[in-house]
Amino acid sequence: MSSPAGSGLQLAVSDLRVEIAGNLGVVRAVDGVSLEVAPGEAVGLVGESGSGKSMTLKSILGVLPPEAKVTSGQVVLDGTDLTRLSHSRLNKIRGRRVAMIFQEPMSALNPVMRVGNQIAEGPRVHLGMSRAQSVQRALDLMRRVGIPDPERRFRSFPHEFSGGMRQRVMIAIALSCDPELILCDEPTTALDVTIQDQILRLLAHLCRESGTSLIFVTHDLPVVAQICHQVAVMYAGQIVERGTVAEVFRSPLHPYTLGLLRSAPDVDQPGQSLVPIPGAPPSLIAPPSGCRFHPRCKFAEEDCKVTEPPLRILAAGRATACLHYERCLDEMGAEA
Amino acid sequence: MSTDLVSVVPVEGRTRLRRARWYRHPTLVVGLVLLVAIVFMCVAAPLLTSFDPDKQNLEQALSGAGQYGHLLGTDQEGRDTWARLLYGGRIDLRVAFLAVLFPFVLGTILGSLAGYFGSWIDAIILRVIDVVVAFPFFVLVIALVFVLGAGEKSIYIAITAVGWVSYARIIRGEILVAKRQEYVLAAQSGGLSSLRIMGRHLLPNVITQAIVYAMSDIVQNMVAIVTLSYLGLGIQPPTPDWGTMIADGQNFLTTQWQLTTIPGLTVVLTGLALSLVGDGLADLLRPGAS
Amino acid sequence: MGRMTFVFRRLALLVPTAVGVTIITFFMVHLIPGDPAVTVLGQHATPATVALLHHQWGLDKPLAEQYWLFMDRLVHGNLGESLYYQVPVWGLITGRLPATLWLLCYAAVIAIVISVPLAVLAASRKDAIRDHVVRVVPLLGLGMPAFWFGLILQTWLGTKLRLFPVTGYGQGFVGHVHTMFLPSLTVAVALCPVLIRSLRASMLNVLGADFITTARAKGVPAPRLLVRHVLRNAVIPAVTVLGINIGYLIGGTLIVEQVFAVPGIGSLMIGAILQRDFPVVQGVALVFGVLVVLVNLLTDVAYAALDPRVRFGR
């Protein structure tokens, strides 16, 4: 997928840090994350569970759980720092300029409110539409996302829909006020593979159509390949690699990314054996010293255990946090 | 719609009574301190007052606080209020505690039988529960007291006949779940008699929720007893009792208001202490509580 | 299944309970030690009155037949005759039922008006000062005898400040609202502890749910979020709790009607007890039982109306 041209950034996250107060100590869930999204661009955020990708997304809109707090950093949307906004002003941006789609559509929809009303709620609140207008808009959206028989389905409740249908409802809700940016928090993880594909195509199509930017969080690499232009890889609360999807997947510059690619089945290479990444994700209360991945990294050297490597920008939009990224190139070269 | 739990206190988990770290719960500690203080004062009544609660002294009737050496004044028959409060507390607290014991035992037995054996025993007991619950608690209690004649004994019978239901439901619910646990299956395959399994294995694990409920039940009973006495159907004069004190004082609310207000406040305070203990226990027994 | 089917099914389930209610009420007579007629009549016991009661209750016939007679008369609306007033019990009850129903509804409204804001206040800032303050209120309320609180209200707001009448039912709608305020407030205060606790708990539950995060991410403004998303879901379990405790509430009307001299069936029952008028006691107890059964049905229906997941088969 080629990245569309755009001047000026849609969204710029700089050095974001989020802490969670827990029983055993302070969890540094997001520890210095920086991200950029250009207008019309789809950026993937990849990582294991617990890597902090969900938290990053939630802190953009300020919908973190009560125990979590943004302790430093900025989230700049078109010149405005969202972390500094008052609650009421942030509310005007939520749903209107930046929308979010969640993972579990069953629990993410209000069980006692009709589906159509939930879709129509955004336009009523943000766009000042009358009841009739918002209903019309909801019906249009339902058609756009492919929900059959919208007039009748408008009055249904979430539990009457299948998983895939519910996710379409969530997409409709996200699109309802024509946002500039949609945040997707693993929207296809809870769905069947066949439905997954449908939803992904739908998302990609809708965003291309309207030029909406996307940040797409997932642990599933093939999904990123299908829908995103750029990808950022997260590990233990930090970004460890960045670049275009084609480049990162073809020649990863971080051992973790390499490990992820190796452990993911590739439909084009059915006979290839999968190599899991040894070890377990680190504690976010007391992460390993130096590079956080070093206990699991087969290329680890002495300096990896000592210095915490910054995310270094290399040429042409690529970035990596590995001190010895050439080892990855060697590895890939050996395979070719 | 049949729900098995009537308790207002959230009921979760089936853990043993944890003796360690009970003092870390402020609710429980404050409640216990208050409760012990109240009980102590009532028990130590002779030390705290030299007046006889039943002794009338018409010349000093309706005197205010502090007059003639009466700490809280006297009632319309010249009886010392403070003494009546303390001695009355003995009666009310004793009856309230005992009146919880009988329903607790009866309810636990019936609930265990229903939960463990199931089938027709369960069906019958459930039907009876549904019917008893269909009456407002107080309506049935007062009707029974009426029928049996006023007095302490009737109170016990009436409250037991109506109150066992809540315990039965709680225990039944807990046993329905607990009997599927591995240790019960092990005991059954080991050839232990049902009685032994129920008594030695199941009950100690399920009794805790009933105990928590019992604390709030004491409060409910105390209010019922005081109400019955207010109407003249409960503790009979001349035995001092908070309910009759409220009744006696009600005609003088505009003048010697403490005659009615103080006994009522005492009931509220005792209820507060018991509720705190109940809540504290519930917190303590919740699984995963720190 | 449709809503009517749901209601009818529930009604059908209630029949055995209703029958049970009649059995218990019937058996109350036989719980009396000794000759029930003599005990009940007390000082009115003359050979003539005793014989009359024996006949009225059919005490010489077998138990099953007695019950049958009882049910037969019941179905025809005959609850016996008051020993004191010497008029049919049914007439006494229907005459005084409106006042009690007024009291119950008014009390429920006041209880909701007090409890909902307090529960919202507490749940919105869990473990903050205001949460602790609100949580203390039920602790005090649970142990407070309703009649005592009623007496205090009566004295201060009624007698001393003359804001409200101290007794009675009042005339006309406005009169009822004014006169019944104090007794209804007393009953409401007895209900609030339970209501506040359960509302707060279910609100906390709802506040942590995923769909609330969705709604926040949609930018739904706080008032709308509270009402259409949080409360709308939180009231569902609270309705159940309210229904369960309605029995307790109805029991409270007995004593409150007595204190405020409200001409309802509660004070009728108390009066009958003090006058040893057994048929009235039995009759009112029966009516109360049926009332609770009906209220439970209403709660179930309300629950189904509020929760669409329930309507479509369970």
Query: Are C211 and A170 within 8 A, CB to CB?
Result: no
Amino acid at C77: G
* Structure-block tokens of residue C40: 């009940």
Residue A269 vs residues A115, A245, A266, B53, B226: alpha-carbon distances, Å: 42, 19, 5, 95, 82
Strands A11-22 and A68-77: antiparallel
Question: Between vectors from CA A330 to CA A324 and to CA A336, what angle results, nearest 5°?
Answer: 150
For position B103, what pLDDT does the model report? 94
pLDDT for residue C314 is more than 70:
no
Residue from A311, A297, A251 nearest A32 by CA = A311
For position B14, what pLDDT does the model report? 38
Packing angle of the helix pair A53-61, C210-217 (nearest 10 deg): 50
For position B290, what pLDDT does the model report? 35
pLDDT for residue B6 is more than 60:
no
Alpha-carbon span C92 to A133, nearest angstrom: 58
Confidence of residue C57 (pLDDT cuts 50, 70, 90): low
pLDDT for residue B8 is more than 80:
no
Q: How far is C211 from chain B (nearest CA, A)?
A: 23
* pLDDT, mean of residues C188-192: 89
- Mind listing the pLDDT tens digit for each residue in B97-135? 999 999 999 999 999 888 888 888 888 898 888 888 888
For tokens 């004069």, the residue is B237
Amino acid at B67: Q
Burial class (CB in 10 A: 0-12, 13-18, 19+), A247: middle
Query: Are C210 and A108 within 8 A, CB to CB?
Result: yes
Query: Are C142 and B219 within 8 A, CB to CB?
Result: yes
Query: Are B267 and C160 within 8 A, CB to CB?
Result: no
Q: Which residues does chain C have within 8 Å of residue A88's beta carbon, measured at their own beta carbons?
A: 221
Q: How far is C167 from chain B (nearest CA, A)?
A: 15
For position B238, what pLDDT does the model report? 81
Backbone angles phi, psi at A37, to 5 degrees: -125, 125
| 3-class SS letters over A137-173 | HHHHHHHHCCCCCHHHHCCCCHHHCCHHHHHHHHHHH
Q: Which residues does chain C have within 8 Å of residue A157's beta carbon, measured at their own beta carbons?
A: 308-309
Among A132-141, A190-199, B43-52, where is mean pLDDT lowest? Answer: B43-52
Contact with chain A for residue C216, Cβ under 8 A: yes
Q: How far is A178 from chain C (nearest CA, A)?
A: 12
For position C32, what pLDDT does the model report? 66
Contact with chain A for residue C214, Cβ under 8 A: yes
pLDDT for residue A3 is more than 70:
no
Among C16-30, C84-98, C168-182, C259-273, where is mean pLDDT lowest? Answer: C16-30
Amino acid at A256: Y
* pLDDT, mean of residues A73-94: 88
For position C312, what pLDDT does the model report? 54
* Structure-block tokens of residue A253: 């510059």
Percent of chain B exceeding pLDDT 90 equals 16
Alpha-carbon span B49 to B89, nearest angstrom: 14
Contacts of C60-69 with C-beta under 8 Å, sequence gap 24+, read C63/C30, C66/C26, C67/C23, C67/C26
Alpha-carbon span C104 to B253, nearest angstrom: 27
Q: Which of C29, C151, C200, C281 to mutate to test the interface with B (most CBs of B within 10 A)?
A: C151
Backbone angles phi, psi at C270, to 5 degrees: -60, -45
Query: Are A112 and C217 within 8 A, CB to CB?
Result: no
Q: For chain B, what is the mean pLDDT? A: 80
Contact assessment for residue B206 and residue B47, using Cβ atoms and an 8 Å cutoff = no
Compare CB distances from C217 to A63, A92, A111 and report the shortest one's residue: A63
Question: Between vectors from CA C310 to CA C305 and to CA C314, what angle results, nearest 5°?
Answer: 145
Query: Are C142 and B139 within 8 A, CB to CB?
Result: no
* pLDDT, mean of residues C103-110: 91
| Closest residue in chain B to residue C160, using alpha carbons only | B254
For position B1, what pLDDT does the model report? 35
Q: Which of A113-117, C12-16, C58-62, C153-157 has the highest mean pLDDT?
A: A113-117
Query: Are C210 and A104 within 8 A, CB to CB?
Result: yes
Amino acid at C138: P
Alpha-carbon span C228 to B54, nearest angstrom: 60
Q: Which residues does chain B have within 8 Å of residue C29's beta carbon, measured at their own beta carbons?
A: 147
Backbone angles phi, psi at A34, to 5 degrees: -125, 140
Contact assessment for residue B4 and residue B175, using Cβ atoms and an 8 Å cutoff = no
Query: Are A102 and C309 within 8 A, CB to CB?
Result: no
Strands A80-81 and A68-77: antiparallel
Query: Are C145 and B261 within 8 A, CB to CB?
Result: no
Q: How far is B267 from chain C (nearest CA, A)?
A: 6
Confidence of residue C2 (pLDDT cuts 50, 70, 90): low
Confidence of residue A5 (pLDDT cuts 50, 70, 90): very low
pLDDT for residue A112 is more than 60:
yes
Q: How far is C229 from chain A (nearest CA, A)?
A: 7
Burial class (CB in 10 A: 0-12, 13-18, 19+), A48: middle
Select the more confidently predicted residue: A215 or C3.
Answer: A215
Q: Which residues does chain C have within 8 Å of residue B264's beta carbon, measured at their own beta carbons?
A: 144-145, 148-149, 151-152
- Mind listing the pLDDT tens digit for each residue in A257-309? 888 888 777 666 677 777 778 778 888 888 888 888 888 888 888 888 888 88
Residue from B137, B56, B41, B23 nearest B89 by CA = B41
Q: Which residues does chain C have within 8 Å of residue B279's beta carbon, measured at their own beta carbons?
A: 139
Alpha-carbon span A171 to A285, nearest angstrom: 35
Query: Are C309 and A96 within 8 A, CB to CB?
Result: no
pLDDT for residue A6 is more than 70:
no
Alpha-carbon span A13 to B90, nearest angstrom: 69
Amino acid at B12: E
pLDDT for residue C59 is more than 70:
no
Alpha-carbon span A290 to C4, nearest angstrom: 68
For position B287, what pLDDT does the model report? 57
pLDDT for residue A232 is more than 90:
yes
Residue from B279, C223, A11 nearest B289 by CA = B279
Give the contacts of C137 (CB within 8 A, at least 6 positions apart).
Answer: C118, C192, C193, C196
Residue from B41, B24, B117 nearest B82 by CA = B41
For position A7, what pLDDT does the model report? 43
For position B19, what pLDDT does the model report? 46
Alpha-carbon span B49 to B51, nearest angstrom: 6
Alpha-carbon span B107 to B174, nearest angstrom: 13
Backbone angles phi, psi at A258, to 5 degrees: -60, -45
pLDDT for residue A148 is more than 80:
yes
Count CB atoms within 10 A of the CB of residue A111: 17
Query: Are C217 and A126 within 8 A, CB to CB?
Result: no
Contact assessment for residue A327 and residue A309, using Cβ atoms and an 8 Å cutoff = no
For position A98, what pLDDT does the model report? 92
Compare CB distances from A92 to C211, C219, C306 and report the shortest one's residue: C219
Predicted structure pTM score: 0.78
* Structure-block tokens of residue C172: 């006309």
Give the contacts of B12 (CB within 8 A, at least 6 positions apart).
Answer: B286, B287
For position A44, what pLDDT does the model report? 93
Among A108-117, A122-131, C25-34, C217-226, where is mean pLDDT lowest? Answer: C25-34
Compare CB distances from C221 to A91, A107, A157 and report the shortest one's residue: A91
pLDDT for residue C38 is more than 80:
no
Among A143-147, A320-324, C5-9, C206-210, where is mean pLDDT lowest? Answer: C5-9
For position A173, what pLDDT does the model report? 92
For position A250, what pLDDT does the model report? 86
* pLDDT, mean of residues C260-271: 90
Query: Are C218 and A93 within 8 A, CB to CB?
Result: no
Packing angle of the helix pair B152-178, B203-231 (nearest 10 deg): 150
Give the contacts of C301 (CB within 8 A, at least 6 positions apart).
Answer: C6, C7, C10
Q: How far is C134 from chain A (nearest CA, A)?
A: 21
Q: Which residues does chain C have within 8 Å of residue A109's beta carbon, measured at their own beta carbons?
A: 211, 214
Percent of chain B exceeding pLDDT 70 equals 90
Chains adjacent to B (≥3 CB pairs closer than 8 angstroms)? C
* pLDDT, mean of residues C253-262: 90
Select the more confidently predicted residue: C85 or A197.
Answer: A197
Q: How many CB pairs under 8 A join B and C?
A: 170
pLDDT for residue B200 is more than 80:
no
pLDDT for residue A93 is more than 80:
yes
Confidence of residue A181 (pLDDT cuts 50, 70, 90): very high
Q: How far is B268 from chain C (nearest CA, A)?
A: 5
For position B4, what pLDDT does the model report? 36
* pLDDT, mean of residues B44-60: 78
